Amino acid sequence: MPAAAARVPTNDCPPFLRWAGSKRKLLPRLKEFWTKGHKRYVEPFAGSACLFFALRPPKAIIGDLNPELISTYVEVKYRLPAVLAELSKLPPWDKEEYLRLRSLDTSRLEPQARAARFIYLNRFCFNGIYRTNLKGQFNVPYSGDGCGALPKDEVFQRCSRRLRGARFVNGDFEAVLIQAEKGDLVYMDPPYAVGARRVFREYDPGTFTLEDIARLRSRMLRLHKDGITFLVSYAESDEADVLRKGFSFETVPVRRNIAGFAAHRAWTNELLITNI
């Protein structure tokens, strides 16, 4: 068994969200890319933002295409007591409550209730996946009590404090990357656009395509030309070969929960691509 990714790192500020494809187990290596010379952290594919919370950068730009995700971060940053008050009303591990919340029209909810709903569904959905139907409605099935309880208030409070230095962008990754400057560390962990094998790709309302891979590659070249350091993590694949061409990279083993069940975990390789 590979040893590099076998242990989950100790983290004084774990993310309050679960997220399919999270790089939590790679944090010890990922954290090494942040140096004293970096002044700001930039992440256009936020997800659970586990590296952001682990690094504690003084300033950050956090972006994602998912409006529910970004609005939740905004509420946790600015109005955490109201979000916690809403969460306290919700019974844990309750399938009927999960399905009720899932069916709600979020446009009719107050921002803090909308954030609480997102957190609750994220905690108790199958494998931390974010997926919507053609109508844009969240449709991931209920997972049960195997995913653990909601985070304690202290976890939310730590995350809220670390979000104070962050600015949020709800939009395409290019809308975030055009704001990058020298002195930033740009971390990109895009959804997988891999056709060779089944990989969960719907981490946000849009599916990441091969055209997006080409756009991402173009932005990597631009960042390098402008002297901005970046790090990209991506599953070993033909697409990763496109992204890594001409840049430094390393291959890191990681254990993935391929089908969402413990019996189907397998070791695969992740490429860490950088211009450092």
Q: What is residue 251's predicted lDDT score, i.e. its pLDDT?
A: 96
Sign of the Cα pseudo-torsion (276, 172, 221, 189, in order): positive
Helices (H) and strands (E) in the chain, counts: 10, 7
Mean pLDDT of successive 10-residue stretches along the chain, which has 276 residues: 38 90 91 96 97 97 96 98 98 94 94 98 91 85 85 97 97 97 97 55 61 96 98 95 97 71 67 96
Q: Which residues contact 7 (CB under 8 A, 6 or more apart)?
A: 25
Q: What is residue 7's predicted lDDT score, i.e. its pLDDT?
A: 37
CATH number of 24-274: 3.40.50.150
Q: Considering only CA atoms, which of 180, 182, 234, 242 is closest in space to residue 210?
A: 242
Q: What is residue 257's predicted lDDT score, i.e. its pLDDT?
A: 60
Domain boundaries, the chain: 24-274
Q: What is residue 271's predicted lDDT score, i.e. its pLDDT?
A: 96
